[in-house]
Structure 1
Amino acid sequence: MTSQYTITLKNCAFFARHGVFPQEEFLGQRFYVDAEFDLPAGEAVRRDLIDNTVDYGSVFKVIEEIVVHTRRELIEALAQDIADALLTRFPPIQRVRINVRKPSAPVPGILDYVQVSLETAR
């Protein structure tokens, strides 16, 4: 029998300068990222060994590096960058789902945030 488990990092917060408009680059704002990824259970679950899983602290650092140091106009592109990096950096990941939220999106109305969700698998 083959089983898998899912690790979720929820509401990772970063200050960054993504957006189409010059004022978004100049002022910056907080962005929130959720990362959910599936892994085969295998030895990590059976033997309780961190060496056989993906360290979610390392995942957080990869997300932070991309969000803070790679400027994108579209949060769609940012979500794709994160998904690609996680699949490349952590080969055991089978599927990844990334949500990027932008609470101060420049829209002429009142809203909590704009969110893009992207899912990809090997």
Structure 2
Amino acid sequence: MTIFQVTLKNCAFYAHHGVFEQEKALGQRFFVDVVMDVEAGDALGSDDIEQTVHYGLVYELVEKIMTGSRRNLIETLANDVALGLTAWSPMIRRVEVAIRKPSAPIAGILDYVEVRVEHRN
């Protein structure tokens, strides 16, 4: 069995996730990385997009989850993205989702808070 990796890096979404009222009301930008180990099947030989994981559709699914229902925790959000992707395609053998929150309400200087979740099929 051949496995290849597909990565979507630094996808940006505006959403209203967070525990605090200000986060819920104002929203903020979130950045998402998705790394998928994909079972190759016939894709590498056939050169047919129907035989692989279409990363444009992956982006659309991530966007739907990120901008859909509001969550308090980015941990829950990352888990929902990972579960959504593995449920969507059995070709995805492993997925790692990282979500970065650059405007985390922390009294300190930092670039962002990041959470990573990994699921395997």
Give the TM bin, normalised by the shorter chain: over 0.9
CA distance in 2, matches of 1:4, 1:46: 13
CA distance in 2, matches of 1:3, 1:58: 22
Q: Which residue of 2 aligns with 1:44?
A: 43
For residues 35-86 of structure 1, give each alpha carbon's deviation from its aligned partner in whole angstroms, at most 9, with x where no partner exists: 1101112210112111100100000000000110120000000000000100
CA distance in 2, matches of 1:64, 1:70: 11
Superposed displacement of residue 90, structure 1: 1.2
Q: Which residue of 2 aligns with 1:99?
A: 98
Gaps of 5+ in 2: none
CA distance in 2, matches of 1:42, 1:91: 11
How many residues are paired up?
A: 121
CA distance in 2, matches of 1:70, 1:64: 11
- RMSD (Å), alpha carbons: 0.7
Q: Which residue of 1 aligns with 2:113?
A: 114
Gaps of 5+ in 1: none
Q: Which residue of 2 aligns with 1:74?
A: 73
Letter paired with 2:14: F
Q: Which residue of 2 aligns with 1:19?
A: 18
CA distance in 2, matches of 1:54, 1:42: 11
CA distance in 1, matches of 2:120, 2:97: 12
CA distance in 1, matches of 2:69, 2:56: 20
CA distance in 2, matches of 1:70, 1:112: 26
Superposed displacement of residue 101, structure 1: 0.3
TM-score of the pair, normalised by structure 1: 0.97
Bigger drift between 58-67 and 38-47 goes to 38-47
TM-score of the pair, normalised by structure 2: 0.97
Ranges of 4+ aligned residues in structure 1 off by more than 3 Å: none
Report the secondary structure of 1:86's partner residue: helix
Q: Which residue of 2 aligns with 1:83?
A: 82
